[in-house]
């Protein structure tokens, strides 16, 4: 109920889902007079017919098509094979392949984008994500594309285990030698003290204890802050972090007490920042150059919920999401074809050769590549277009501006990674540079699509609520619900009072719900008992009719049960 004054009494609207000013029992009589007023009866009486609910949609920019020629030659067969066998958009395995290149490379190679200025070095670690609904095979694709890199790491693990066995033998031998040396010293000392009480035998220098081997790693999937920091201490080239579902990771960084973890990841994106982790009982761990590549999957609805804060001045608006440069949201394939054949083993072996070759580079003495003369000209033109024209567009959303500004390092990173994948370790040529430019154009269109889903948060929240109403997940048997009941659901994009109110406002405008006129016994009872009128909404009967009809299509009785069960939820 909106704020107003009638018969000397003020009824105030609630400012949040679960709290507000209550009407005291001392005013019950005056409130009764208020609700017996004929004028108010006229205001509260609602006999207007319901119109058809209008459709609510967010128009997303079209997803660009992916050209297999944008990939390094050696990776094309594997990407094509996975896309065909799994019947997924070719964009899926393509972007994972590029992310894996970055994760394997880390600090093993760098590029100096300018011809003369050597102070600007770019470490090609990249963050990315596949945006797709559940069941779109995101996780199987990630597992398949990273399989060749896992083979390399498996070999490293076997080598580490052999080295550890040797270390244990050496340590055992060292321990026995120390015991023998200690025993000889004790005997010598005893003899000397017997002959000359004032003499002391010389203590021999101890042999250094054998150092344990360090396990080389490429990937990790679920590391804590402390364990990831330890991995980086032992692997100077960096680590490739894979997350099956990025939503949980993003949400965990929002929790109180996790600020240091968020700061740590922000530092790791550059690939050249130091970080010290101090823990009581564990001492300090210092990493000179933290380098983390990151990739995972995320569902559109959950991404929109996170963007609601990231595109404002909230905690999430610190540029974390803008660091996901390899961010794609392709359309579902137009058709699905049953495919049953063995994988292209030769294609995977070629990819394994690529990953193995890059992983063999020495991070203590990394490669430093530059553009060829022709490629340098391409890069210069592209960077000038980005910085002087595209980022100065006044119509560009500030979040997109921040996102695109990070392409300044993305383009040279991609060009160098493509060059390494195709076996070129001297200079980055014009062909790979143009491939990188094409990738940036492709990724820009996907970024616009992702950000467009959150440029109107109220409409996005209204669509979420509309879908809940269509499924019958809100409302009682009469098709009514209160504002409090909506907030208690804690649905994504509707958990805060301002989000819920904005969504209800749009749905009311489009005839999905109506704020109920309250000349009801329930409201009177609230007032008589010293409570406040509940803020109640009624669902358009035509929406409820759709739900009932949907159930009836599978049988009248089953449909009624479906509706009752949905309303109960």
The predicted-structure confidence for 390-427, as pLDDT tens digits, reads as follows: 999 888 888 889 899 999 999 999 999 999 999 999 99
Q: Output the pLDDT for position 292.
A: 93
Classify burial at 63, counting beta carbons within 10 Å of its beta carbon; exposed 0-12, middle 13-18, buried 19 or more.
middle
φ/ψ region of 464 (left if φ > 0, alpha if ψ in -120 to 50, else beta) reads alpha
- Please report which confidence band the pLDDT of residue 520 belongs to, taking 50, 70 and 90 as the band edges: low
pLDDT of residue 264: 87
pLDDT reading at 296 higher than 50:
yes
The answer to whether the beta carbons of residues 444 and 390 sit under 8 Å apart is no
From residue 400, give the alpha-carbon distance in Å to each of 136, 319, 380: 26, 11, 22
Asked if residue 559 lies in contact with residue 69, where contact means CB atoms within 8 angstroms, the answer is no
CA dihedral sign of residues 38, 40, 41, 47: positive
pLDDT > 50? residue 330: yes
Q: List pLDDT tens digits, range 334-375.
A: 888 999 999 999 999 999 999 999 999 998 899 999 999 999
CA distance 422 to 70: 12
Q: What DSSP designation does 52 have? A: P
Confidence of residue 154 (pLDDT cuts 50, 70, 90): very high
Which one is predicted more confidently, 31 or 93? 93
pLDDT the model gives residue 17:
46
Q: Angle, to 10 degrees, between the axis of helix 457-470 and the axis of helix 300-310?
A: 150
Among candidate residues 368, 450, 423, the one with its CA nearest the CA of residue 113 = 368
Q: Which residues have CB under 8 Å from 230's CB, separation 6+?
A: 285
pLDDT at 110: 96
Least confident of 41-45, 78-82, 342-346, 526-530: 41-45
For the chain, how are helix, strand and coil distributed in percent, rounded to 5?
55, 10, 35
Give the C-alpha separation, 400 to 556, whole Å. Answer: 50
Tell me the longest C-alpha to C-alpha distance in the chain: 122
Neighbouring CB atoms inside 10 A of 62's CB total 10
**pTM of the entire structure?**
0.74
Cα 108 from Cα 105, distance rounded (Å): 5
The number of beta carbons lying within 10 Å of the beta carbon of residue 77 is 18
Identify which of 480, 490, 360 has the alpha carbon closest to the alpha carbon of residue 420.
Answer: 360
Q: Vertex 57, ends 56 and 62: CA angle to 5°? A: 170
* Mean pLDDT to the nearest integer, 436-444: 97
* pLDDT score recorded for residue 311: 58
Q: In this structure, which long-range contacts are made by residues 337-340, counting pairs with CB atoms below 8 Å and at least 24 apart in sequence?
A: 337/87, 339/84, 339/85, 339/86, 339/87
pLDDT higher for 188 or 432? 432
Which of 10-19, 135-144, 162-171 is least confident?
10-19
- The number of angstroms, rounded, from the C-alpha of 368 to the middle of its chain's C-alpha atoms is 31
Q: State how far the Cα of 263 lies from the Cα of 11, in Å rounded to an integer.
A: 47
pLDDT for residue 76: 97
Q: Looking at residue 467, what is its pLDDT?
A: 87
Average pLDDT, the chain: 82
pLDDT band at 558 (very low <50, low <70, confident <90, very high): very low
CA dihedral (375, 381, 387, 390) positive or negative:
negative
What's the pLDDT score for residue 43? 37
In angstroms and rounded to an integer, the radius of gyration of the C-alpha atoms of the chain is 32
539 DSSP 8-state letter? E
Contact residues for 154 (Cβ-Cβ < 8 A; gap 6+): none
* Residue 378 pLDDT class (50, 70, 90 cuts): very high
**Tokens encoding 456:** 């109107």
pLDDT in tens, 158-170: 999 999 999 999 9
Q: How many other β-carbons are positioned within 10 Å of the β-carbon of residue 521? A: 7
For the stretch 205-256, pLDDT in tens is 778 889 999 889 999 987 888 888 889 989 999 999 999 888 888 878 877 7
For residues 421 and 413, the answer to whether their CB atoms sit within 8 Å is: no
Residue that wins the pLDDT comparison between 281 and 94: 94
Q: Are 299 and 251 in contact (CB under 8 A)?
A: no
94-108, 365-379, 527-541, 554-568: which range is least confident on average? Answer: 554-568
- The pair phi, psi for residue 274, each rounded to 5°, is -85, 160
The whole-number pLDDT of residue 47 equals 62
CA nearest to 542, candidates 485, 474, 482, 470: 470
Answer with the residue of higher pLDDT: 107 or 14. Answer: 107
């Amino acid at each position: 109920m909106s704020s107003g004054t009638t018969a000397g009494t003020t009824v105030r609207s609630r400012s949040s889902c679960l709290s507000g000013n209550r009407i005291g029992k001392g005013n019950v009589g005056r409130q009764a007079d208020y609700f017996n007023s004929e004028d108010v009866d006229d205001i509260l009486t609602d006999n207007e017919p319901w119109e058809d609910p209008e459709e609510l949609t967010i128009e997303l920019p079209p997803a660009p098509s992916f050209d297999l020629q944008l990939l390094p030659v050696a990776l094309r067969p594997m990407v094509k094979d996975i896309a065909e066998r799994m019947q997924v958009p070719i964009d899926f395995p393509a972007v994972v392949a590029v992310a894996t290149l970055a994760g394997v490379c880390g600090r093993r190679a760098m590029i100096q984008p300018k011809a003369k200025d050597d102070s600007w070095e770019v470490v090609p670690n990249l963050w990315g994500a596949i945006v797709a609904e559940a069941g779109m095979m995101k996780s199987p694709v990630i597992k398949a594309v990273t399989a060749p890199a896992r083979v390399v790491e498996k070999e490293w693990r076997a080598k580490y285990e052999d080295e550890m066995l040797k270390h244990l033998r050496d340590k055992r031998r060292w321990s026995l030698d120390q015991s023998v040396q200690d025993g000889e010293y004790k005997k010598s000392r005893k003899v000397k003290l017997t002959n000359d009480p004032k003499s002391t035998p010389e203590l021999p220098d101890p042999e250094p204890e054998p150092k344990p081997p360090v396990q080389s790693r490429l990937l990790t999937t679920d590391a804590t802050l402390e364990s990831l920091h330890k991995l980086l201490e032992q692997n100077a080239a960096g680590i490739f972090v894979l997350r099956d579902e990025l939503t949980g990771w993003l949400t965990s960084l929002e929790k109180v007490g996790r600020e240091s973890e968020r700061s740590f990841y922000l530092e790791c994106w550059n690939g050249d920042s130091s970080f010290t982790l101090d823990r009581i009982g564990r001492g300090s761990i210092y990493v000179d150059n933290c380098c983390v590549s990151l990739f995972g999957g995320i569902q559109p609805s959950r991404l929109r919920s996170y963007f609601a804060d990231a595109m404002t001045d909230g905690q999430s608006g610190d540029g974390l999401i803008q660091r996901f440069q390899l961010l794609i949201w392709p359309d579902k394939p137009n058709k699905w074809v049953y495919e049953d054949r063995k994988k292209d083993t030769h294609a995977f072996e070629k990819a394994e050769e690529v990953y193995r070759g890059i992983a063999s580079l020495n991070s203590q003495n990394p490669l430093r590549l530059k553009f060829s003369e022709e490629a340098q000209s391409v890069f210069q033109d592209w960077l000038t277009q980005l910085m002087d024209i595209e980022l100065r567009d006044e119509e560009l959303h500030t979040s997109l501006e921040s996102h695109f500004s990070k392409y300044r390092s993305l383009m040279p990173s991609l060009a160098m990674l493509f060059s390494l994948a195709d076996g070129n370790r001297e200079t980055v040529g014009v062909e790979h540079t143009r491939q990188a430019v094409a990738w940036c154009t492709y990724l820009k269109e996907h970024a616009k699509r992702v950000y467009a889903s959150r440029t109107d948060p109220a409409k996005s929240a209204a669509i979420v609520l509309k879908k809940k109403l269509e499924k019958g997940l809100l409302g009682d048997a009469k098709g009514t619900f209160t504002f409090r009941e909506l907030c208690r659901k804690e649905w994504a994009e509707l958990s805060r009072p301002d989000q819920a109110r904005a969504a209800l406002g749009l749905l009311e405008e489009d005839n999905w719900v109506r704020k109920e006129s309250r000349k009801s016994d329930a409201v009177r009872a609230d007032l008589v008992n010293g409570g406040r009128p509940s803020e109640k909404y009624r669902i358009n009967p035509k929406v409820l009719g759709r739900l009932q009809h949907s159930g009836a299509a599978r049988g009248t009785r089953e449909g009624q049960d479906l509706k009752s069960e949905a309303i109960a939820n």
